[in-house]
Structures are given as C-alpha cells and as structure tokens.
Structure 1
Amino acid sequence: MASPTKNGNPPAQIPKSIKFLFGGTAGMAATLFVQPLDLVKNRMQLSGEGGAKRQYKTSFHALRSIIANEGLFAVYTGLSAGLFRQATYTTTRLGIYTSLFEYATRDGKNPSFTMKALIGCTAGGIGAFVGTPAEISLIRMTADGRVPLAERRGYKNVFNAIYRISNEEGVATLWRGCWPTVARAMVVNAAQLASYSQAKEILKNTGYFAEGLFLHFCASMVSGLITTFFSMPVDIAKTRVQNMKVIDGKPEYKGAIDVVVKVMRNEGMFSLWKGFTPYYARLGPHTVLTFIFLEQMNKNYKKLVLHDESSGGGGL
C-alpha cells in the first residue's frame, strides 16, 4: 500500500499500461548508448568456439578489429534487433516487476530481499520468453561479421531476420535456446532488480544519499557488478546455442549444459566469464541508464499527470 498524501488520501498510482510502456522505452533509450558493447561481448563469447584460434585477445582488440575490418558504423550492427529486444523483453520484465513490487508492498514497507528476488525471477523469465525471437536475431546479426562473406547470414534488420529464420529454419527456431535464455533472465533479474532495490535502500539508509540521479547511479553500478558475475556462465551458453548452425541435421551443441562442458574442457573454466569486461561495461551503463530513465519517467508522470509532488520515481 502506498504512503498517504498530505490530505490523508492514498496517492494515485501509475497505470500498469504506462509502467510497461516506460519499462520498454527506458531499455530502448539505454540500448542506443550500449549497442557497441553488446556487439563486442557477443563476439568475445564466440571467439575460440569449437577449438578454433581466438579471434580477439581483449575487448579493446575486438573493438579495434571490428572497426578496422568492417568500418566504424559496424559497431551498431544489430541495433534494430537490440531495440526490438528491449521493446519486447524489457517492456515485459520491468512492467511485471514494478506491478508485482507494488502489489507486494504493504503499509508503505517494501518487500523483503527474498521477495524482490522472487519477483525478479518471475518477471525476467516471462520477459525472456517473449523476447527470445529478438534475442536470437540480435545474436546472429552481431556475430555475422566474424565469418567469411560467403558464410554470413546477411539479415537486413530484425524483421528480416525473424522472417528468414522462421521461413528457412522453422518458426520453432525463433525460440532456440529459449530455456537458457529464460534461465539467464531469471538469474539476471533476480540479481539485477533485487540488488538494485536493495542497494538503493541500503545507500539511502546510510544518510549520505538522497533520492536522485547520484543514488540511482550508485545503486545501478552495484547491481550491474553483481549481475555480471552470476549471469555470465549462463549467458555464454545462451549465446552459443542461439548462434550455432545445424550441419547435415547435426547441431553443434546438444544444449546449454553441453556448451558449458565443452567450454570448460576445451577453453578452461574461466572462459565461462570470457568477455567479462564488455559484458559489465555494457550491463553496468545499461542498468544505470535504464533505471535512471525509468525513475525519471515515473517521477515526471507522477508530478505532471498525477500531481504527486512526493520524491522518488516510485516502483523500484
């Protein structure tokens, strides 16, 4: 239950449809800034696949190579898929999370950390299922430039990718790697959304942080670091399953567990965290920007539309 206003009445709540809209819009706005890092992360995770020589030594080497070999604007390859992913996945997960968070708030007291994590898991899993077609399109489009021209898939945009995948490989292929995608999203959202809410509470309780951009920034960076560590092994499994080709009816991997086993055996255990720098460099700012955009949209909607002058974005 929300805290009462000055006149004793409970404040009006942001409609659920608006929460979903703000969630997707915030994610899409953040993607415009971090798409190059997503590209580098995916290329790093696919480097060394199948026992081949690693194409990139470091994240900076990958970025330099991509620009040198494919051109400056190649760093935004797959942007349409990245935006569509946010429009589907992030709209769903943040909309569900903020709605469930509000429902679980009682007498002005926020849910426990365990409840936040459970809500995050639920929101992330549902969002990931909805966003898998965009996810697989993004993985393939960002990976295309690493192979010879004759072997590239050459998708023009996300809608062309979805059409061709469903037409050439079957509609079910759009959900290939769905379960590792869902598992990753549950880990990411349990860690990201719960740790963001918890970090924000802890920082505010120190007395050194007031509600505002700096608090959102610090809470987001803490959340991004925790999320990166726990989600990377699942993410590399997801990336390779969704990028794999089926040759003569035989897929490169049997599933996510097969990816993890082969990576550990052929590339070493720490390869499960390959691309940690671009992953965090992408996830950290993306988390920061998404939550900042979301908080500001919520805050301004409450102020301008609901005429609620209380501080805070409300909902996270």
Structure 2
Amino acid sequence: MSKEPKQIPKSARFLLGGSAGISATIITQPLDMLKNRMQMSGLGKKEKQYKTSIHALTDIVQKEGFLELYNGLSAGVLRQATYTTSRMGIYSYLLESLKKNDYKLTFPLRVGCGLGAGVVGAFIGTPADVAMIRMTSDGRLPPSERRNYRHVFDALIRIVREEGVLAMWTGVLPTIGRAMVVNAVQLSTYSTVKEQLIKMKVVDDNILCHFLASMMSGFLSTVASLPIDIAKTRMQNMKIVDGRSEYSGMVDVIGKVVAQEGVLALWKGFTPYYARLGPHTVLTFIFMEEYTRLYRVYVMKDTSGEGSGF
C-alpha cells in the first residue's frame, strides 16, 4: 500500500520551477538569439536583413563569431531566475492548493491559474527580458550605435543611469500580454494533455508522456503568442529619437508591422521562435518533472510515486 504523498514546500516549488527554466535556457539560448534577430529583420530597412533562419544563423556566425549566439545568456538566466521561478512556482502552488481543497481541476480553472501566474512572473521578469532583447539584437546595429553591454547587470545599471528606472519595464504591457497568452495556453494545455494521456492509458506518467504533452503545449503557445512577442521585442529594442519613442504602444507596433510588412509579418521568425519555445517548453517541463521527482525521493524521502502536481 502506497503512502499518502507529502506536500512539497512552497519555497521548493519556486526553486524547482526556476531551476528547470534556467537549465532549459542554457541549452536553447542560440535559438532565442535567432528568434530576436529574425523579428528585428527588416526594421528601418527596405529589405529584410535575413531571408530565413538558416541565413540568419550563418550570417551571425560568419560576421560576429560563434560565441555571439550566446550573447545575452546572462540576461536569459536572470530572466528564468525571476520570470520562470515565479510563474512555475505560482502555477504549481495554485494547482496543489486547489486539489487540497477538493476543487475539480477543469481546463478553464487551469487557464485561470496560468493567467495569474503569467501576470506576476512577467512583471518581475521584464527588466531581465529588456536586457536580453537588447543584448541579442546589438550585433545587427552599426558599431557606432551598439550598446555593448558586458553582461546583464551592466545592462540594467546602464539602463537605469541613462534612461531611468522605469526604462527597465519598457514594453511591460506586451510582455504581460504575451505571458498571459503563453501561460494560459502552455501550462493549462500541458496539464490537460498529460492528464488525458495518462487517463486514456496511452502512456504512463513518464518522460515520454511529458515529452508529448509539452510538444503540443509548445506548438499551440507559439501560434497564439508570436504576434504579441514581436510587438514586445520591437518595443523593448526601440530608441528615443528627438525625445519621442518609436512606438506609442503594442497596438501601434502591430499596426505598423501590418501596414509596412504585411499581416504574415506578425508570425515572422516562426521557425526559430517555435524552435526555441518548443524545445524550451519540452525541456522546462521535463526538467521540472525530473527535479520534482528527485526532490521527493531524495529530500522528502517520499516513496508514494506522486508526480510534479502539474
């Protein structure tokens, strides 16, 4: 007879979520670089800078060196330490609390938990996100216009000193909007697909199950969130010219993209974005599941076989 599963401490929920996000980011950072460069391609120019993701990859490596693909890694890690720690920790804690109080975890309820977790995580993680966008986009600029941030903390210090504290939350509304969409789709879809796969006995609660659920989650998240992510990327990378911002808001960005580049430009960089978000989603959930299992077994001495709670 199995023992009653123990409750994972709240602090551990956040630690496990952040560790999973950081582990995934270390692996997928070059894909984030390609995604950001593709989204900035064509901005302020008559022709696109990069025609395809492969063109972007080869051009960056040839002109800027292989290590440029990891420019912004420190910001990416800090973003995961803030954003993912918050969103994954809050989401898993909410689900566990609802289960404990005998609520039926319906899909709409999971979506609501994902929305809430996304809002909080996005606000906390925006400063690191701004730094990462600027660092990964820097190489596309002429040498005289580059910011040349040495690392994420240099970026944040200079942003505050040169532009003010509030500049760290540039694009916070589209960032929150993207996070709401990503988390509502990603987290709720993962939980639901995983549950149904196990319930229908397609697979057991193992790595294959986590892989299948996270692949579906990553694809749907990409389709839903890419237009908002493009608006966020361009707002966070914009410059102030003659005292005026390049864009007045998310709607202004999307309107100008559609008018100047066409509707399909809202999904520009789909391949590197999915290539980044897909594997990142898969790796984050797999790391989360495995770290949680290891924590239960080796720290909590829990032999009930209970999973992550997702």
Give 5+ residue unaligned stretches, structure 1: none
Alpha-carbon distance in structure 2 between the residues aligned to 1:51 and 1:147: 12
Q: Which residue of 1 aligns with 2:291?
A: 297
Within 5 A, what are the aligned runs for 1:186-225?
A: 186-225=180-219
Query: In 2, are the aligned partners of 1:81 and 1:134 still within 8 Å (CA)?
Result: yes
Task: Give the distance between the partners of 2:246 and 2:298, measured in 1 at CA.
Answer: 54
Structure 2 equivalent of residue 179 of structure 1 = 173
Cα shift readout 1:194-222 (whole Å, capped 9, x = no counterpart): 00001101211221201111110111100
Matched, 1:26 2:20: yes
Q: Match for 1:70: what amino acid?
A: E
Could you tell me which amino acid in structure 1 is paired with residue 8 of structure 2? I
Determine the C-alpha separation between the residues in 2 that align with 1:307 and 1:17: 17
Tell me which of 251, 258, 262 is aligned to 1:257.
Answer: 251
* Residues in 2 aligned to 1:233 and 1:305: alpha-carbon distance in whole angstroms: 42
Look up the equivalent residue of 1:123 and give its one-letter code.
Answer: A
Deviations 1:97-126 (A, max 9, x none): 010011112577751110101000000110
Give secondary structure in 1 for the equivalent of 2:44.
helix
8 A Cα contact 2:2 2:303, kept in partner: no
- How far does residue 309 in structure 1 lie from its aligned partner after superposition? 1.8
Aligned to 2:156: 162
Q: Distance in 2 between matches of 1:59 and 1:102?
A: 40
For the residue of structure 1 that corresponds to 2:5, the secondary structure is coil
Identify which of 267, 277, 291 aligns with 2:271. 277
Contact 1:51 1:267 in 2 (8 A): no
- Name the TM-score, length of structure 2 as normaliser: 0.97
Matches within 5 A, 1:52-71: 52-71=46-65
State the alpha-carbon separation in 2 of the partners of residues 110 and 219 from structure 1.
20
Preserved CA contact (<8 Å) 2:38 2:56: yes
Give the distance between the partners of 1:204 and 1:11, measured in 2 at CA: 18
Match of 2:300 in 1: 306
Q: Measured at CA, do residues 110 and 246 of structure 1 come closer, stay the same or move farther in structure 2, by a change above 3 Å?
A: same
**5+ residue gaps, structure 2:** none
Equivalent residues in 2 for 1:64-213, closer than 5 Å: 64-105=58-99, 111-213=105-207
Which residue in the other structure is 2:280 paired with?
A: 286
Report the CA distance between 1:265 and its aligned residue. Answer: 0.6
2:254 is equivalent to residue 240 of structure 1: no
Q: TM-score, normalised by structure 1?
A: 0.95
RMSD across aligned positions (CA): 1.3
